[in-house]
Structure 1
Amino acid sequence: MMNANRLTEIKVSPSLYTEWLERFGGFPAEEACGFVYGKIRKQTAYVSSFAWVANVSEHPTRSFRMSPSDIMIHLGGGTTGNDRRAEASEDPVLLGLFHSHPRTPALPSHEDVSAFRLWPELPSFWIVSLERSVPQTAVYAWEEPLESGSGASPGPSESSVSANKAVTTVDTGQIRIVSPSVKEWRTDRIEPVEATTPFDQSDKTTSLSRLRVGPGRPPRSVAARAWDSRLLRKIPLYIEAP
């Protein structure tokens, strides 16, 4: 199946984004997960809500799993009472899937990529890292339209999907990154660099009205450890008033 929604940027209001990030504070040691909803105009996505889904994994500190029943409910638009949705939003579409990494950076693990491949038409995949005092968000998408069963095999992993589409992914990476202490990074490119090279400070954006967030370029050792960087790209995430 081909992904027709190739996004070039994503926008979310400061209040909605802040509320969403604050809720991760309730999961300091466990992976939280859910779906992202909103509108797509041309190639820009406008987030209107985040739907939280219970993590039913047997090992929630290092993996997340969504039950088939929760998946079916939220694929219909996330109409549960816990959703936060903009008043002007009507018939929101599914923009993406999110989950957190309590102890590691916002980089897709080998198992994350395996899980992402179960959703070939999903426009975006969000990862929130809680390893620093300020959460780091990164949004990913397939670099090229993905066909079911195509692309490089991610290899053995603990990720699995049952016949009824239950999703499981495990974050097993142990990563150490030497980098400046910053709060915001661009999210629009992935370029592996040497493991001893710190993040490029020229990538940092400090505009208060138009803010790009997420970690910078991953060291080569990190990219090689967990995922095929050629298959994924980063999507710029803007935190700005509508």
Structure 2
Amino acid sequence: MEKIIIVTGGSRGIGAATAYLAAQRGYAVAVNYIHNHEAATKIVNNIKHSGGKAIAAAADISLEADAIALFNQVDEQLGKVTALVNNAGILEQQMRVENMDAARLNRIFAVNVTGVFLCAREAIKRMSTKHGGTGGVIVNLSSAAARLGSPGEYVDYAASKGAVDTMTIGLAREVANEGIRVNGVRPGFIDTDIHASGGESNRLERIKDSIPMKRGGQAEEVAKAILWLLSSEASYTTGSFIDVAGGR
């Protein structure tokens, strides 16, 4: 059976590293993106040049119609998904809770929580033996922030990832007897451009001494944890988490 994976937010950072590694390990890859068509197309072309199969798929996964369209596109161009990596996520400028407005909170939770639910829902409809599927695997990208809270910076982001953790546990138990495994990966401080979104592009340099390993992580290190959870080596693992956070 062909292995078909959707990586949401796959055009940069951890998502891009996951897309590349999945292709190397035999997956046909749908690289989801929202704005950066050029970056997504570059990843797809690189995968194809290496002998793999990939498509770029534009969708704002926080919108129900877009999430449905994403999975329908994959159905038509690659086939039924067998693996989903819920990687898409956003954060905003560093800020204390007392200064956050509802619009910001709604944006964060729409992508980081609602989008994860919508994509998981569509994947289950295709994977579950209850619906005639042959099973599959979902990996949700959480964050060490879910454990640490991100005080003074991103309590809203941390809270959204706490919701992802809870959803991961509940969903794993809900579909465990339908051939679907659901797990999470909690990255710590990883060297990607998401820090610039929060207004501090050199954040890793500032905080690296607070990390037991004294360095930030690389996107490829997170991707390897994701691919392990997707693999048959993790066949008895569900409702679990891998922390990729340098000991923090």
Q: TM-score under structure 1 normalisation?
A: 0.29
Higher strand share: 1
Higher helix share: 2
